[in-house]
Amino acid sequence: MKKITSLLTGVAFAGIAFANAAYATTLEEVQSRGELRCGVDGGVAGFSAPNDAGKMVGIDASVCDAVAAAVFGDASKVTYIPLTAAERFTALTAGEIDMVSRNTTHTLTRDATLGVNFTYYNFIDGQGFMVAKDAGLSSVKDLDGASICVQTGTTTELNMADYFRNGGMDFTPVGYSTSVQTREGLEGGACDALTSDASQLAAIRSETADPNAWTMLPEIISKEPLGPVVRQGDDQWMDIVAWTLYALINAEELGITSANVDAMKADSPNPSVGRIVGSEGETGANLGLSQDWAYNAIKQVGNYGEIYERTVEPLGIPRAGSVNDLWTRGGILYAPPVR
């Protein structure tokens, strides 16, 4: 009834409803609300998109799940808020949501001017090119004079122009407003190549009539480190989000999976594992969480490798040896130790 009244007053007074606890920390707010409000895109395959049961799934959505598991011990206590690119930071700074996990590139301008903080990366992307396999191209250098399908108004378009100008090459951009249209353009023969972020290229390829007819060129021409973002000014909350992500990556490095985490907790093979699963040390208390925060995240969501395999791998983005692999296997994912 209270909610109803507040909705009605909301309608009456231009939709203003005063949320309580204006001065509470984000953690306290999240805990008293009983759910995590997590901003996602909601329409990017492998990152966040609704599954048949109506739940958001993907590598971005999994970060929300893991944070909810760390805070509540229950990964299902998340409300996913679909956000457009334009709204994501305002929604966060205005307090509508607790964190953004929406394939957001970490850049200096965003970090320094928008009142937000970037934590760590859950996917490291970069701009690439996709061409027909039978065209026999092996490098972006072969694309001199080519026509290239691109989504207009994106940094992708600017990166490409920079790259070609640097290399002294010519190209004709063929602009479209959505990624679906760029795919149709490429398939329809309107251009020789399609450029977008590598993860998008993989998704686009999986949507073509014959995915095997297309191949990606080896060059990656831009850096797009994507990761969860929090509001500036609440260091504890930033730590919670960052360390949840670190814990998932450390868990993979130490071989802790959702399947064996119970056994590891009962009998930790080494102290590093013990500190993550909560049988040793005070890691949870230092963050303001329970002792089994990381255990819950790993148990309910899986370690980073499991999440990747479940969400991004099916798009056709292999991980072995890529930047998104662990530093021990040739990648650059390097999480500080939980201790």
Partner 1 sequence: MADSTLKLKKLPDREPPENTIGWIAWIRDNLFSSATNTLTTLIFVYLFYLYIPPFIEWAIINANISGTDRSVCDTNKSGACWTFIKIRLEQLLFGLYFASNPEQTWRPIVAFSVFGMLIIPLVIDKTPHKKWLLIALLTLYPLLFICVVYGGVFGIPVSDTGQWGGLLLTFALSFVGIIVALPLGILLALGRRSEMPIVKMMSVTYIEFWRGTPLITILFMASVMLPLFFPSGVDFDKVVRAMIGITLFQSAYTAEAVRGGLQAIDKGQNEAAMALGMGYWRRTILIVLPQALKISIPSIVNTFIALFKDTSLVSIIGLLDLLKMAQNSSRSLDWNGYDIEGYLFAGFVFWIFCYGMSSYSQKLERKLDTDRRAE
Give the footprint of partner 1 on this chain (CB under 8 A): 1-4, 7-8, 10-11, 14-19, 21-23, 42-46, 49-58, 79-84, 86-87, 90-91, 93-96, 180, 203, 206-209, 311, 314-315
CB of 193 to partner 1, least distance (A): 20
**Beta-bridge partner residues of 82:** 40
Gyration radius of the chain's alpha carbons? 22
CB of 227 to partner 1, least distance (A): 20
CB of 129 to partner 1, least distance (A): 21
DSSP 23-64: TS-HHHHHHHHTSEEEEE-S-BTTTBEE-TTS-EESHHHHHH
**Minimum CB distance to partner 1 smaller for 256 or for 315:** 315
CA distance 243 to 237: 10
3-state secondary structure (DSSP) of residue 117: strand
At residue 197's C-alpha, the angle toward residues 96 and 238, to 5°, is 35
**Minimum CB distance to partner 1 smaller for 91 or for 230:** 91
Pull the structure tokens for residue 267: 């009998």
Cα of 330 vs its chain's centroid, Å: 21
**Minimum CB distance to partner 1 smaller for 29 or for 292:** 29
3-state secondary structure (DSSP) of residue 278: coil
**Minimum CB distance to partner 1 smaller for 184 or for 219:** 184
Pull the structure tokens for residue 132: 């027909």
CB of 186 to partner 1, least distance (A): 14
**Minimum CB distance to partner 1 smaller for 96 or for 219:** 96
Pull the structure tokens for residue 37: 């409000």
3-state secondary structure (DSSP) of residue 285: helix
**Minimum CB distance to partner 1 smaller for 178 or for 328:** 178
Pull the structure tokens for residue 254: 């130490």
CB of 84 to partner 1, least distance (A): 5
CB of 116 to partner 1, least distance (A): 13
Question: How crowded is residue 52: how many other Cβ atoms within 10 Å of its Cβ?
Answer: 6
**Minimum CB distance to partner 1 smaller for 88 or for 275:** 88
**Minimum CB distance to partner 1 smaller for 22 or for 108:** 22
Cα of 264 vs its chain's centroid, Å: 28
Pull the structure tokens for residue 98: 């607790």
CB of 122 to partner 1, least distance (A): 17
Identify the H or E element spanning 181.
helix 179-187
CB of 183 to partner 1, least distance (A): 9
3-state secondary structure (DSSP) of residue 224: strand
